[in-house]
Amino acid sequence: MRSETEGVPCVAPSLSPNALPFFMLHFLRRAPNPYEISAADLQTRLRQGPPVHVIDCRESAELSRPGITPSEHLPLGRFPASVETLRTRAAQADLIIVCAHGQRSLHAARFLRNEGIANVWSLAGGLKSWR
């Protein structure tokens, strides 16, 4: 007795070349970003250590919205002139950069890593994820 599939070649399913970018974006969005720390991990670090130094890179006009306490305010535009000060802070504790939605802080973290400060991260999702 022969099975229904006997003699039928086995062909692996294939994706349309047009579908590939969609799947790549789907998986890349879920890949952890080495420049970011989650709100849950930051809360744990603030409670249990090791110590961190939180830097709020929002503009002064945005500070009426709640942030993380304690933190130091340093607008993103002042980062280039403050690299040595930030290097000193990083020698004492890991730096966590925060902003409203996580984009400016991610930019700041990348900038500081390019300046040779390795222990710096951005709060993933910004203060929006903190609340």
pLDDT in tens, 17-64: 555 555 555 555 555 688 999 999 999 999 999 999 999 999 999 999
Predicted TM-score (pTM) of this structure = 0.76
Would you say residue 71 lies in a domain? yes
Predicted pLDDT of residue 77: 96
The CATH number for 117's domain is 3.40.250.10
- Closest CA relative to residue 76, chosen from 100, 54, 98, 57: 57
Total of domains in the chain: 1
Task: Of 1-10, 58-67, 119-128, give the lowest mean pLDDT range.
Answer: 1-10
Distance separating alpha carbons of residues 34 and 18, to the nearest angstrom: 29
Per-residue CA distances from 9 to 3, 4, 16, 116 (Å) = 13, 12, 20, 56
Task: Give me the domain span that covers residue 100.
Answer: 33-129
